[in-house]
Amino acid sequence: MVIEEINRGEPAQIFGELLTLLEAGKRTPKEALELSDPDAEGNRLPAHILENLYVIGTMNIADRALALVDVGFRRRFAFVTLEPVLGVRWRDWVVVERGVDPDLVEEIARRRSGRC
């Protein structure tokens, strides 16, 4: 499951009880929690998250809302920083497919690489 800009909402409130179930050690039927919302028949059934379900949340590090992400929520995720690679394939695509001026493309790549 991919959740774009996961920090835009309040993840602890959005996930609720499922936040506990995201932990690796709690993804078994034995660790299932009874959810507060009943099913159509009024029964409160235990729920667990399958081990093969991966939750991927994206965040923009420039977004000020990142600092507001709850510590309990953060500890349930691994964080990976992804940087854009502005190589030859990107340059060719931007110039040919998008019609961007080649000089502008080189300037963007130069600035991105820190050679300002």
Res 74: pLDDT:
79
- Check: pTM over 0.75? Answer yes or no: no
Residues 112 and 68 in one domain: no
More confident residue, 78 or 115: 78
Statement to judge: residues 57 and 108 lie in one domain: no
Q: For residues 35 and 90, state if they share a domain.
A: no
pLDDT attached to residue 36:
72
Instruction: Please give the residue range of the domain that contains residue 106.
Output: 84-116
**Tens-place pLDDT, residues 36-70:** 778 889 888 888 888 888 888 888 777 665 556 77
Q: Say if residue 37 is in the same domain as residue 94.
A: no
Q: Is 63 found in the same domain as 6?
A: yes
Tens of pLDDT along 72-87? 777 888 888 888 788 8
Judge if 67 and 94 occupy the same domain: no
Tokens of 85: 């690679």
Tell me if 79 is assigned to some domain: no
